[in-house]
């Protein structure tokens, strides 16, 4: 697919104006190729085939953005912690770019206001915001190059939104936290996959935490593990387990 530079005319649509404003707020610059960012916000549930058999959605940009985001975060952490091991760097990078973290970050910076998806699917927005953020990173890379993208990742995503000291010292395994709490309280806990929705190129899992036969948090993800972690996080919030004791 050949990307063409989209020059925004003075009479640009309100949707284009909204997207330009959003990107200024999110990334701190005006897009040069607005078409990239428009595509980055279109989930596959609304994608239309372009005549070549390829559905025009943000999936390809998400694939690219996932790799670029991971590289930018790895670069940043490598320089930030010059005496830490590979295992430490890998763990901290995972805590920044895992699906739950990216979903929360994307919601915080306003991705929910620009993502386009089939709103008949009530829970879809809960699982696609992080994917959309990755697609936007991919769009920034194609539009501005790697160095500008790395600056965006560090200055607009990591530094304002993550406390690295807290991240290093935190325990992000919410499933383990639920299990440890249940053992202390003498309660039975189990994690159930209650639904698997098959899409063209991926699956969406729905997980449920059940404590003493009572349904608690429900989570979503593109793997069983991610869905269970999301459900565990929501259960921790319900049970007030995230407040320092």
* Residues labelled as active-site residues: 66, 134
Nearest CA to 60 out of 117, 141, 120 is that of: 141
The residue assigned the tokens 């559905």 is: 55
The residue assigned the tokens 């990755």 is: 134
3-state helix, strand, coil in the chain (%, to 5): 60, 15, 30
> What is the rounded distance in angstroms from the CA atom of residue 190 to the CA atom of residue 176?
12
Helices 174-185 and 224-238: angle between axes, nearest 10 degrees: 50
CB atoms < 10 A from the CB of 186, how many? 7
* Residue 82 main-chain phi, psi, to 5 deg: -70, -15
């Amino acid at each position: 697919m050949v990307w063409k530079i989209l020059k925004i005319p003075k009479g640009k649509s309100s949707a284009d104006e909204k997207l330009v404003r959003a990107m200024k707020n999110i990334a701190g610059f005006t897009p040069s190729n607005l078409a990239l960012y428009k595509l980055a916000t279109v989930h596959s549930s609304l994608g239309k085939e372009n005549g070549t058999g390829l559905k025009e959605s943000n999936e390809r940009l998400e694939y690219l953005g996932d790799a670029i985001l991971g590289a930018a975060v790895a670069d940043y952490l490598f320089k930030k912690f010059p005496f830490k091991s590979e295992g430490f760097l890998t763990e901290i990078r995972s805590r920044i770019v895992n699906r739950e973290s990216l979903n929360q970050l994307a919601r915080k910076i306003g991705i929910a206001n620009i993502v386009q998806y089939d709103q008949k699917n009530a829970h879809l927005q809960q699982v696609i915001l992080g994917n959309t953020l990755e697609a936007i990173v991919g769009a920034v890379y194609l539009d501005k190059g790697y160095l500008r993208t790395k600056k965006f990742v560090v200055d607009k995503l990591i530094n304002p939104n993550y406390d690295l000291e807290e991240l290093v010292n935190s325990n992000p395994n919410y499933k383990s936290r639920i299990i440890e709490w249940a053992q202390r309280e003498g309660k039975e806990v189990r994690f159930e996959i209650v639904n698997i929705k098959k899409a063209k190129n991926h699956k969406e899992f729905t997980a449920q935490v059940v404590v003493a036969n009572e349904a608690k948090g429900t989570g979503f993800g593109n793997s069983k593990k991610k869905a269970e972690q999301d459900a565990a996080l929501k259960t921790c919030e319900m049970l007030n387990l995230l407040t320092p004791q």
